[in-house]
Every structure is written in C-alpha cells, then in structure tokens.
Homo-oligomer: A and B are copies of this chain.
Amino acid sequence: MNDLHVIKIGGDITANESLLHAFLQQFAAEPGLKILLHGGGKSATAMAAKMGLPQTLVDGRRITNAATLDIAVMVYAGLINKQIVARLQGQGYNAIGCSGADAGLVKSVRKAVLGWVDYGFAGDIGPEGVNCEQFVRLLELGMLPVLCSITHDGNGQLLNTNADTMAGAIASGLSHHYNVSLTYCFGKKGVLQDPDDDDSIVPVIDAAQYRFLREAGSISEGMIPKLETAFQALSSGVKAVTIRHALNVHPGTRLVSGIQQHTPA
C-alpha cells in the first residue's frame, strides 16, 4: 500500500495570512499522496460579527442555524478553500477543493438533539460516511484534495461538520487503501501540559495520559474531540496520529505530541 498523509489545519492558521502562506509552502514541499482538511471557525465567527449574527459554541462545536450554515458554507467552501487551492495551483500542485457534497465524498447525519442542545444544521459522520472510492479516484488522477468541513446528508441538505472529526473519519476510511498518517496542525507545538507554557509539550499521549490531562484541565474544549478522534482513528487502522505546529509539518520534527493507543512498556 502507498503512504497517504491526511493533514488538518486549524482555524488559527487559515485566519492568519502569513502563517497560512508559510504552512502551504511546507505542505506543498512534502512528497507523497496528501489530503488537506480545513474548517475556518475563527474566520466564520469574524464574518458573523460583521453581519451582526451572534454565534454560540457548546463544547467547542458551533450551534448552526440556517444563517450560520450559510456563513460556514461561504467562508469554508468559498473563501478559505478557493484561496488555498489557488495558491497550491500557483505552486504547481494540482489541488482540487471540495466539500463533502462534491463527488459525494463525505456524507453525514444531522446531529441528534441532546438534552437542551440542538446543534441545528450540524452533521456527524457515520462509519459509512466516507466515499473511499471517490477519494481514491481523485488521488489516482494525481489531484491533491483540499476538503473543507462542510458535508451533506445525501438528500440535498448541507451540514456543518467538525473538521477534526472529519479528518479522523477520512483517515480511518482510507486506512483500508493506504498506509495513513493523520496530523493535526495548529498554532501551538502540540498538546501542552500547561496551556500557558508553549514549550510544555506532552510528547506521548496514551489513553491513561489523556484521562490524567483531562482531569487536570490541561486538555479542554476543542482539544477533547480532537483527541477522542485521534484514538478512534488509531483503533480504526490509521498508523500514526500527531498534533503539531503548522510550521512543523515535516515528519522528522521532534517537537510534537504523538498519540498512541498503548505506550510501549
């Protein structure tokens, strides 16, 4: 099987012109098959503010009413996705920007209402949600898929989807076709023991360490679904999951957090 690198970049990178530029340079230089995934929450929140629409997040997930869905689609599938694609094309890479609806790549199911929380037009990706055959076709054409975190329900409805879990689902699904590694890139060097100390990277996180860090409060909010997805991806056949700074894309970089199911004795 060929290697495939699924890389997700955070909204703190896509909203920062110079960081995004530097990341794309590094990303493009990495050899091999790649899929890039992005959301753009920070930019969507800024756009919503410009349009006078207040936003609500519960456990790091956006409550998506119809107007908020429109903003997410415009910002993620439109602005951010096409800017990334145009730049990669400008560097000579045959990028193709897609939402989950395009070519039926990723289908999701509208989130169930849990207690008082109705996430609205938000989608969860089930085990059959990733259309691996279509991903393989695009990769075999030499294309570099750039996915935004918008999916569809298969009945014409677009759904806002968490980009971390979408990256995990794509990596897991494609692990039957490729040796997949999954990388979460953002503006910090990894999972931090002390959120206020940028150098307090936790180098290896297994299930026990995760529980400890969560109870200690080092891991909270958006980092929780990221790590839960990471463990799921590993148990689904993904070879390696790391969390690292967007400017440390190269696999040789040591300043990262590696997620492991079990730490070797």
- B143 touching A86, Cβ below 8 Å: no
Residues of chain B with a CB closer than 8 A to A114's CB: none
Knowing A73-B78, A141-B137, say if A158 contacts B86 (CB, 8 Å).
Answer: yes
Inter-chain CA distance A102–B95, complex, in Å, is 6
- B99 touching A85, Cβ below 8 Å: yes
Judged by a CB distance under 8 angstroms, whether A68 is at the interface is no
- B101 touching A94, Cβ below 8 Å: no
Instruction: Give chain B nearest CB distance to A71 CB in angstroms.
Output: 9
Inter-chain CA distance A89–B51, complex, in Å, is 30
Contact of A50 among B51, B73, B158 (CB under 8 A): B51
- A103 touching B99, Cβ below 8 Å: no
Judged by a CB distance under 8 angstroms, whether A233 is at the interface is no
Residues of chain B with a CB closer than 8 A to A74's CB: 74-75, 78-79
Inter-chain CA distance A44–B60, complex, in Å, is 31
- A89 touching B104, Cβ below 8 Å: yes
Give the size range of A's interface with the partner.
35 or more
Instruction: Give chain B nearest CB distance to A33 CB in angstroms.
Output: 16
Inter-chain CA distance A143–B141, complex, in Å, is 13
Judged by a CB distance under 8 angstroms, whether A150 is at the interface is yes
Within 8 A of B (CB), among A67-99: 70, 73-79, 81-83, 85-87, 89-91, 94-99
Residues of chain B with a CB closer than 8 A to A91's CB: 156
Within 8 A of B (CB), among A83-132: 83, 85-87, 89-91, 94-99, 101-104
- B51 touching A90, Cβ below 8 Å: no
Contact of A85 among B75, B94, B101, B143 (CB under 8 A): B101
Judged by a CB distance under 8 angstroms, whether A155 is at the interface is yes
Show 20 residue pairs from A and B whose CB-CB distance is below 8 angstroms, ordered by the A residue: A50-B51, A73-B79, A74-B74, A74-B75, A74-B79, A75-B78, A76-B78, A77-B82, A82-B150, A85-B101, A86-B156, A89-B101, A90-B154, A90-B155, A91-B156, A94-B103, A95-B101, A95-B103, A96-B98, A97-B99
Smallest CB-CB A-B distances: 6 pairs: A78-B78, A90-B156, A74-B74, A74-B78, A86-B152, A86-B101
